[in-house]
Amino acid sequence: MDTELARTFLSVATAGSFVGAAERLHVTQSTVSTRIRTLEDLLGCPLFVRNKAGAALTDAGRRFQRHAAMLVRTVEQARHDVGLPKGSRASVVVGARIGLWDGFLLDWLAACRGSTPDVSIRAEIGFEPDLMQGLIDGRIDIAVMYTPQRRPNLELTPLKDERLILVETVAPAAAGTDYVYVDWGPEFYAQHSASYPDIAGPLLSVNVGWLGLRHLLACGGSGYFPLRSVEPLVSAGRLRRVAGAPEFTLPVWLVHPADRDRDLIDPMLASLSAFEGACGPA
């Protein structure tokens, strides 16, 4: 069986619709539909009930879900094991939001490479749904994110608290007044809505903090960003904190399979937790 069929099936099951799966897989909806029809023909039974609300798993689909995840995990593990670079004893895939790589996990990655030079590491960027799916599929070994979902066989460990502060540009050349809303996830949305219940919809919103910060520095305005990311810019006089603005706190979670290779993964988890302790609060 083509693993792309199994991966597409898992994406539809997670997204709850063919449209959502197509967006996650970066393919057309017709491609997703063709793959699912091919899989259903191969198995000889319907896997989804299609309706206006999306796609719901049939009993057969629910039974197949475990096998599909196992199939994808087995193939990915085989690919990693067979494709190990020379001199490496194992490989590990670490995924996180781009905002958590910048100024945090990249520093840990450099330290980790120095302490475990015989382990091949693949670093990936993704949003929470993609990271969770990678963990479920067995493609990702360690994920760091803001709002994980509890799933069987996955362990969640609080790693740190991320402080988000409101900053604005200072230089006259970049003295715009636009507020840039950065989508830091549902937890941020809830806190932001509670603190600003009457705020009108922003003229500009982005789903990546790096993009919002680049726009702010180029065109002016204000927005919420992690303290660790903007502190150097505040110290340099390019940004300033908005006096009296509320701060928001986002818990950062470490997520990994319960049935992991403990000899391989646990030392990396411990080094990540220790690295955060050495770095202090974000």
To the question of pTM greater than 0.85 for the whole model, the response is no
pLDDT, tens digit (0-9, with 9 covering 90-100), for 38-89: 999 999 999 999 988 889 999 999 999 989 988 888 887 776 666 667 777 8
Task: Tell me what the mean pLDDT of segment 176-205 comes to.
Answer: 87
Domains of the chain by residue range = 3-81, 88-160+251-279, 161-250
| pLDDT on residue 170 | 87
Read off the pLDDT of residues 242-251 as tens digits, 9 standing for 90 and up: 999 999 999 9
d(CA 51, CA 39): 19
Which residue has 């507020």 as its token pair?
179
CATH topology (fold) of 88-160+251-279: D-Maltodextrin-Binding Protein; domain 2 (3.40.190)
CA–CA separation, 104 vs 17, rounded Å?
Answer: 35
Q: How far apart are the first and last CA of the chain?
A: 46
- Which of these ranges, 12-26, 67-81, 262-276, has the smallest mean pLDDT? 67-81
Confidence band of 176 (pLDDT split at 50, 70, 90): low
Cα angle at 25 between 133 and 258, to 5 degrees?
10
> For residue 1, is pLDDT > 70?
no
Question: Are domains 3-81 and 88-160+251-279 of this chain identical in fold?
Answer: no
Of 125, 120, 164, nearest to 145 (Cα)?
A: 125
Which one of 3.30.1370.100, 3.30.870.10, 3.30.360.10, 3.40.190.290 gives the CATH number of domain 161-250?
A: 3.40.190.290
- Other C-beta atoms within 10 Å of 153: how many? 12
Is the backbone of residue 54 left (phi > 0), alpha (psi -120 to 50) or beta?
left
